[in-house]
Structure 1
Amino acid sequence: MEKISYVIPVYDEEDNLEPLYEQIKSVCAKVGGEYEILFIDDYSRDKSLEIIKSLAEKDPSVKYIAFAKNTGQSAALYAGFQHASGDIIITMDADLQNDPADIPEMLRLYGEYDMVNGWRHNRKDTLSKRLASKFGNRIRNAVIKEDIHDTGCSLKVMRASMLKRIKMYKGLHRFLPAMMRMEGARVVEMKVNHRERYSGVSKYTNLKRGYEALYDLICVRWMQKRYLNISIRENNVGS
């Protein structure tokens, strides 16, 4: 482990950013080593970008990318992955529902595994959202032969070299465990804390999420079936 990049998509989270920053800094002090905190502002309509810039002015470890138009979470994550300088990438939401305090324990699993996926075992969401997520995960696992309980959990620890090889499309952030496995990653799931939203509102509805996830599921299954798994026995290239 040389450097950790915290990649955090942001869309209208002005009241959550400073508390999140402080919590991440506290974790960084415990973990030690080099790090960066990379915020990707997805064209927020509130003061999110202004707050991020203020944090960056006082702390050189804070970096940011600001989109020229609202593009979505997958695009924000992909931009973060491509611009992250760490060999480990940690993702989380900016709404304070993910708990940075889980990160040291997740890092203990890293090395033996290339991806540690959070599992919100005791979710603090509405009943309808919890039921929809549980149903969606079961369908997803059945179709793409996965065993992840909570692929939608944004708290993830991933090997950057594998992650950067993945070509992201809209909606595919929900399938990162499967996409990482296609790159040869060893994936494990860990129960993590989940907190009630401190401020702001959810950006998704069950109907929208369900429709998009079904469409994406078909695409991911197609990619799994068509993935080129090349194994070279020997060569004399470069000799």
Structure 2
Amino acid sequence: MDDSRKFSVVLPVYNEQDNLTLLFEELKKAADSTGQEWEAVFVDDASTDDSLSVIRGLAQSHPEVRFVAFAENRGQSAAFCAGFDAARFPVVITMDSDLQNDPADIPAMLNLFGQECEMVIGWRAKRKDTLVKRLSSRIANAVRDWFTDDGVRDTGCSLKVMRADYLAELPRFRNMHRFLPILMKMQGARIREIEVNHRQRHRGESKYGTWDRAVAGLYDLIGVQWLIRRHLDYTVKEKK
């Protein structure tokens, strides 16, 4: 088994009690099919339902499952960062816990990963969201690309494969998960996209409002553009 291909799947959770068992069943089937050692790192963002109890049960029954539980709600970016810190393997996969991302896409993404790239991003070509959400996402992607020039069609898709050592060097801030492609590019990562399946939400409700996300996104874009313009980029020719 190639140690460099071992992977950690980081899954932020907030009030997803009805999705977690099925999610793990699908994830285990897909991950086991790769033949690589893997783990699932659930990060409970202070859920107010029984999500943490379900995660504890999964951890007791399956050695692949580990988890982090927040004392207070801190948002998706904080949950992803806690998962990155907890991940033990050199490849990190991120995905949502609402079953809209399809774990069955993971093997193909891992096959593409490493082929002249350090990041593979899922592209939801056929989204199963409402018309309002699809249109707002299209506008948001266009505005984001104008600000950051990251060249990515669908940065909002949480299904991503990345090198853990690159993630360790990223600046951390609220809502950073929306800008992972440009942040990885700033570290020298090469990015490839692959079409992935997108499904309707299985149970529960979306945690984000369209207007709230738009306002926060514009504010974040200004900050990320500042980071891009101030980013230090240099190559060492020689040292002793």
Category of TM-score, reference length = shorter chain: over 0.9
* CA displacement, residues 123-167 of structure 1 (integer Å, 9 cap, x when unaligned): 100100000000010011011112111101000010111011112
TM (normalized to structure 1)?
0.97
SS in 2 for 1:202: coil
User: What is the match of residue 68 of structure 1?
Assistant: 71
Indicate the SS of the match to 2:218: helix
Aligned to 2:23: 20
Matched, 1:140 2:144: yes
* Corresponding residue of 2:104: 101
Q: Counterpart in 2 of 1:175?
A: 179
Match of 2:222 in 1: 218
Any conservation in 1 of the 2:8–2:89 contact (CA below 8 Å)? yes
Q: Distance in 2 between matches of 1:102 and 1:2?
A: 16
TM-score normalised to structure 2 length: 0.97
Partner of 1:193: 197
Letter in 1 for 2:74: T
The code of the aligned residue for 2:229 comes to K
Higher alpha-carbon deviation: 70-79 or 107-116:
107-116
Within 5 Å, give how 1:17-166 maps onto structure 2.
Answer: 17-112=20-115, 113-166=117-170
Gaps in structure 2 of 5+ consecutive residues: none
Q: CA deviation at 1:67?
A: 0.1
Q: In the aligned structure 1, how far is the partner of 2:54 from the partner of 2:175?
A: 27
Q: Distance in 2 between matches of 1:136 and 1:29?
A: 36
4+ long deviations beyond 6 Å: none
Task: Indicate the SS of the match to 1:31.
Answer: coil
Q: Distance in 2 between matches of 1:99 and 1:28?
A: 12
Q: Secondary structure at the match of 1:233?
A: coil
AA of the residue aligned to 2:99: L
Q: CA deviation at 1:3?
A: 1.4
Letter in structure 2 aligned against 1:151: T
Q: How many residues align?
A: 236
User: Match for 1:107: what amino acid?
Assistant: L
Q: What is the root-mean-square deviation in Å for CA atoms of aligned residues? A: 0.8
SS in 1 for 2:33: helix
CA contact (8 A) 2:31 2:106 kept: no
- After alignment, is 7-16 or 226-235 more displaced? 226-235
Kindly state the Cα deviation for residue 121 of structure 1 after the two structures are TM-superposed: 0.7
5+ unaligned residues in a row in structure 1: which ranges? Answer: none
Q: Quote how far apart the aligned CAs of 1:190 are.
A: 1.0
